[in-house]
Protein backbone atom coordinates (compact mmCIF):
# COMPACT_ATOMS: atom_id res chain seq x y z
CA UNK A 1 0.00 0.00 0.00
CA UNK A 2 1.36 3.41 -0.98
CA UNK A 3 0.09 6.55 0.63
CA UNK A 4 1.16 10.19 0.57
CA UNK A 5 -0.20 12.72 3.03
CA UNK A 6 0.40 16.33 3.90
CA UNK A 7 -0.29 17.00 7.56
CA UNK A 8 -0.46 20.43 9.15
CA UNK A 9 -0.61 21.10 12.90
CA UNK A 10 -3.89 21.38 14.78
CA UNK A 11 -2.39 23.81 17.27
CA UNK A 12 0.27 26.53 17.27
CA UNK A 13 1.32 28.98 19.97
CA UNK A 14 0.98 32.06 17.75
CA UNK A 15 0.44 33.08 14.13
CA UNK A 16 4.17 33.89 13.84
CA UNK A 17 5.35 30.45 14.91
CA UNK A 18 8.30 29.25 12.84
CA UNK A 19 7.26 25.73 11.82
CA UNK A 20 9.77 23.24 10.46
CA UNK A 21 8.86 20.94 7.60
CA UNK A 22 9.82 17.30 7.63
CA UNK A 23 9.32 14.44 5.23
CA UNK A 24 8.91 10.85 6.37
CA UNK A 25 9.15 7.92 3.99
CA UNK A 26 7.99 4.34 4.59
CA UNK A 27 10.51 1.89 3.12
CA UNK A 28 10.29 -1.84 2.37
CA UNK A 29 7.04 -2.17 4.32
CA UNK A 30 8.94 -2.24 7.61
CA UNK A 31 10.58 1.06 8.58
CA UNK A 32 10.42 4.84 8.25
CA UNK A 33 13.15 7.24 7.14
CA UNK A 34 13.58 11.00 7.40
CA UNK A 35 13.53 12.66 3.98
CA UNK A 36 15.49 15.91 3.69
CA UNK A 37 13.46 18.43 1.66
CA UNK A 38 14.80 21.17 -0.57
CA UNK A 39 13.72 24.73 0.19
CA UNK A 40 11.18 24.89 -2.65
CA UNK A 41 9.78 21.36 -2.44
CA UNK A 42 6.22 20.75 -3.69
CA UNK A 43 3.59 19.49 -1.29
CA UNK A 44 0.69 17.11 -1.81
CA UNK A 45 -2.89 18.11 -1.06
CA UNK A 46 -3.71 18.63 2.59
CA UNK A 47 -5.95 15.93 4.04
CA UNK A 48 -9.70 16.50 4.07
CA UNK A 49 -9.78 15.73 7.79
CA UNK A 50 -7.42 18.65 8.51
CA UNK A 51 -9.67 21.02 6.54
CA UNK A 52 -12.72 19.79 8.47
CA UNK A 53 -11.08 20.39 11.87
CA UNK A 54 -8.87 23.43 11.17
CA UNK A 55 -11.60 26.01 11.73
CA UNK A 56 -12.53 24.49 15.08
CA UNK A 57 -8.86 24.49 16.11
CA UNK A 58 -8.30 28.07 14.86
CA UNK A 59 -5.44 27.12 12.53
CA UNK A 60 -6.92 27.83 9.08
CA UNK A 61 -4.22 30.50 8.57
CA UNK A 62 -1.64 27.71 8.23
CA UNK A 63 -3.11 26.60 4.91
CA UNK A 64 -2.37 29.97 3.30
CA UNK A 65 1.26 29.61 4.40
CA UNK A 66 1.66 26.50 2.19
CA UNK A 67 -1.00 27.01 -0.48
CA UNK A 68 1.54 28.11 -3.10
CA UNK A 69 3.47 24.83 -2.73
CA UNK A 70 0.45 22.55 -3.12
Check: CB of residue 8 under 8 Å from CB of residue 62: yes
H-type alpha helices, the chain: 48-54, 61-66
Query: Is the pTM of the predicted complex or chain greater than 0.85?
Result: no
Report the distance separating Cα 66 and Cα 8, nearest Å.
Answer: 9
Task: State what percent of residues in the chain have pLDDT above 90.
Answer: 0
In the predicted structure, residue 1 carries a pLDDT above the cut 60: no
The average pLDDT across 19-40 equals 84
Report the distance separating Cα 66 and Cα 46, nearest Å.
Answer: 10
- Exposed, middle or buried by CB within 10 Å (0-12, 13-18, 19+), for 20? exposed
Annotated domain spans of the chain = 23-69
Largest CA distance in the chain: 38
Amino acid sequence: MHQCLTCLPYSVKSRDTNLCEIGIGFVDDDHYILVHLSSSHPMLLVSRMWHEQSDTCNVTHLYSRYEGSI
